[in-house]
Amino acid sequence: MTDNAAEPTQHHPGTLRHGRYGVEAAYAVAAEAELPTAAWEREVARGLELGLPAADSIGDRRIPTFSRGELPHFAGINTFLKAPFVEDVRRCGEYDVAVLGAPFDGGTTYRPGTRFGPQGIRKISALYGPYSFELGVDLRESITIGDLGDIFTIPGNIEKTFDQITKAVAHVYGSGAFPVVLGGDHSIGYPTVRGVARQLQGNLGIIHFDRHVDTQETDLDERMHTTPWFHATDLPNVPPENLVQIGIGGWQAPRPGVKVGRERGTTIMTVTDCVEMGIEAAAERALEVAWRGAEAVWLSFDVDCLDAAFVPGTGWPEPGGFLPREVLKFVQLVSERPLAGIEVVECSPPYDSAEITSLVATRVICDVLGCLVRAGHLPSSRSNAAL
């Protein structure tokens, strides 16, 4: 970056004339100065009250005896981002964002293990604080997040599990909270969409990141993780014309699914297409397709859309996928419009290496939430939560 790039931003005139930053860093450094600390101060006070003031030898008197907040990152109970555990799910509407796990891998057709996806994602999410430097957002100061724990899935029964997931997602979406679903294999894409769609008057669009089309009717005689969008786009208010599939490619795309997508008119964007047109243009195109005539848009993120090198812990790894910085940019751009919710699927901790796949999943969720906050879509007008 050159000194020329460090012009003061419109939002913070006059604060940056020293030429030490490029455009993004200049924005980031200035944005941090504008962020409040009120929620953090409340968290410290609560920690001291519930966790007792620290031993006399501790100089920093904000530290309690028992860890009761963000710190230390390795301590505490594993909810997502150390959000409060909401045991009474009837109260999920009191939060802007509700995290719920869908621990199910009965739809996998090769590697299993995604039943441990919610656990893996929650565990590594402890590494993250609520603040993003580049986004200039502090989630703790902007929104409330509750972790509802996991849906009671039925390991040996796909259809009963689907019914449980649909009921859970409809409950959360209907409460006004923004659902963040931790998969689970991609078979859950059908019941999650069904849960949101039944709460809408109008149509639901889907932005789908994946190496695989997932549009065939059945696989191995069941509605497996290769089939969610066939069934989702059978729903009356989930038209296939609003399904945009991003990152598709490689040697794992079943021909029956491709045929269905062609016949129904889904939109498919390969990695090369996206990279060559540019991520900004690709995101614009994806938004255009998903939002055309739609009331809301669901984001379904399969971690295997990334190159296999970055996601060892997944069911069907495929080389040639996105780089993390490409896909993160992409999800940030699509989150400049409102979303109905997000699911992150196909994270399989038993196959993971150094928790890197779970970390990618966490990062995608945090970037989506951060961008929704930055764009003013969270807290949403649907939310009942009061900060």
- Interface residue list for Mn ion (CB under 5 A): 210, 212, 302, 304
Would you say 17 or 255 has its CB closer to Mn ion?
255
**Which residue has its beta carbon closest to Mn ion?**
212
List 150's β-bridge partners, or say none: 101
Taking the complex as a whole, the smallest distance from the CB of residue 360 to Mn ion amounts, in Å, to 14
Integer Cα distance of 154 and 168 in angstroms:
14
Taking the complex as a whole, the smallest distance from the CB of residue 318 to Mn ion amounts, in Å, to 8
Integer Cα distance of 177 and 170 in angstroms:
11
Q: What is the 3-state secondary structure (H, E, C) of the chain?
A: CCHHHHCCCCCCCCCCCCCCCCHHHHHHHHHHHHCCCHHHHHHHHHHHHHHCECCCCCCCCCCECCCCCCCCCCCCCCCHHHCCECCCHHHHHHCCEEEEEECCCCCCCCCCCHHHHHHHHHHHHCCCCCEECCCCEEHHHHCCEEEEEECCCCCCCHHHHHHHHHHHHHHHHHHCCEEEEEECCHHHHHHHHHHHHCCCCCEEEEEEECCCCCCCCCECCECCCCCHHHHHCCCCCCCHHHEEEEEECCCCCCHHHHHHHHHHCCEEEEHHHHHHHCHHHHHHHHHHHHHCCEEEEEEEEEHHHECHHHCCCCCCCCCCCECHHHHHHHHHHHCCCCCCEEEEECCCHHHCCCCHHHHHHHHHHHHHHHHHHHCCCCCCCCCCCCC
Taking the complex as a whole, the smallest distance from the CB of residue 46 to Mn ion amounts, in Å, to 41
Would you say 78 or 270 has its CB closer to Mn ion?
270
Taking the complex as a whole, the smallest distance from the CB of residue 94 to Mn ion amounts, in Å, to 34
Would you say 70 or 302 has its CB closer to Mn ion?
302
Taking the complex as a whole, the smallest distance from the CB of residue 86 to Mn ion amounts, in Å, to 30
Taking the complex as a whole, the smallest distance from the CB of residue 66 to Mn ion amounts, in Å, to 41
Would you say 28 or 323 has its CB closer to Mn ion?
323
Taking the complex as a whole, the smallest distance from the CB of residue 247 to Mn ion amounts, in Å, to 9
Would you say 171 or 225 has its CB closer to Mn ion?
225
Would you say 122 or 212 has its CB closer to Mn ion?
212
Would you say 109 or 380 has its CB closer to Mn ion?
109
Taking the complex as a whole, the smallest distance from the CB of residue 351 to Mn ion amounts, in Å, to 14
Taking the complex as a whole, the smallest distance from the CB of residue 285 to Mn ion amounts, in Å, to 21
Would you say 212 or 231 has its CB closer to Mn ion?
212
Would you say 210 or 307 has its CB closer to Mn ion?
210
Q: Measured on CA atoms in the order 350, 352, 354, 359, is the torsion positive or negative?
A: negative
